[in-house]
Amino acid sequence: TTTPRVALVTGTASGIGEAVVRHFRELGHQVLAVDFNEQAQEKADAVGAAFFRADLTDGEACKAAVAEAIKRFERVDILVNNAGIQHVSPIEDFPEAKWRQILDLMLTAPFLLSQAAWPSMRAGGWGRIVNIASVHAQVASPGKSAYISAKHGMIGLTKTAALEGGPQGITANAVCPAYVKTPLVDNQIADQAKLHGMDEQEVVEQIMLKNAAIKRLIEPHEVAELVAYLASDAAGAVTGSSFNIDLGWTAQ
Ligand code: NAD
């Protein structure tokens, strides 16, 4: 049995975040789904989650999201930092505004959300921060400088939160997936095809699954299961760690 908790999950309109919200609801958790895309409202309604609209590149919106969870559910026990975007371009041409947007959304927002949720987790003597990083938090690929920098940074944030949270019952861990079947990857297939002058099938086989021992994309629910474990009571001794769910990519 799972103890019901209050979870705040970001980036819930599609993909991994949507799967995490659904799975948390199945486990009986109360969930505040946070996204800037109105489609996330319908997705949240469908599984009985609450929804808060926020553009997480805005620091005030991050704080408002946590305040909303506390207003509705009186606390935050679990924070899943999932919202993310990609932009593929060589460093030479990489737009500064895109770099800043990616760092704001994927590194600063997880920091601000952790900071805002911290007092509630500390007061309860129990907290779980699960950061959705990436195989690109462990290794690099060309064309993704901002994403890879943000994800590597997220591992540093995770480790620091683990050290600070240890005495307070708060754990922090990262999940590092390779390519998951989501809209983010559909867009990347198109971008990579352009970057490398390939067709889309070639991109999947020759680029996305090149380093994979298991030659298929990952399903969002497979990531959600790992997130649920890290957010559970059973994972109380697990902190500061990164969990690869990468089809064997980093085994070589
Ligand atoms: P997705 O595009 O399906 O979902 C991303 C979500 O973030 C969307 O709901 C989107 O609306 C939301 N979002 C984007 N910008 C936002 C903003 N400014 N404010 C609030 N919400 C915003 O993507 P996904 O593939 O499910 O990715 C989720 C996370 O998993 C990301 O952090 C991504 O880097 C990571 N990840 C994905 C893969 C993959 O292959 N799909 C692999 C490794 C890591």
Q: Can you state the angle between helices 15-26 and 39-46, rounded to 10 degrees?
A: 20
What are 72-111's pLDDT values in tens digits? 999 999 999 999 999 999 999 999 999 999 999 999 999 9
- Report the alpha-carbon distance of residue 160 to residue 239 in Å, rounded: 10
User: Which atom belonging to ligand 1 lies closest to the Cα atom of 135?
Assistant: 43
C-alpha dist (Å) from residue 89 to 98, 142, 205, 237: 10, 8, 21, 40
Q: Could you give phi then psi for residue 195, rounded to 5 degrees?
A: -60, -40
Task: Set out the domains of the chain in order of their start, with CATH numbers.
Answer: 6-177+219-244 (3.40.50.720), 179-217 (no CATH)
Q: In what order do the strands lie in the sheet with 170-177?
A: 50-53, 30-35, 6-10, 78-81, 127-132, 170-177, 242-245
Query: How many angstroms separate the alpha carbon of residue 229 from the centre of ligand 1?
Result: 20
pLDDT score at 195: 85
pLDDT score at 11: 98
Q: Is the pLDDT of residue 124 over 80?
A: yes
To test the pocket of ligand 1, the residue of 8, 12, 16, 108 to mutate (highest count of ligand atoms within 8 Å of its CB) is: 16
| Pairing outcome for strands 170-177 and 242-245 | parallel
pLDDT score at 149: 98
What is the overall mean pLDDT for the chain?
96
SS3 45: helix
pLDDT score at 2: 84
Query: How many angstroms separate the alpha carbon of residue 245 from the centre of ligand 1?
Result: 16
pLDDT score at 158: 99
Question: Residue 218: which pLDDT band, with cuts at 50, 70 and 90?
Answer: very high
Q: Model pTM?
A: 0.97
Q: Is the pLDDT of residue 15 over 80?
A: yes
pLDDT score at 244: 98
- Report the alpha-carbon distance of residue 224 to residue 8 in Å, rounded: 14
Dihedral sign, Cα of residue 90, residue 17, residue 118, residue 54: positive
Per cent of the chain over pLDDT 70 is 100
Tokens of 219: 């399903």
pLDDT score at 184: 85
Residue pair 66/86 in contact by the 8 Å Cβ criterion: no
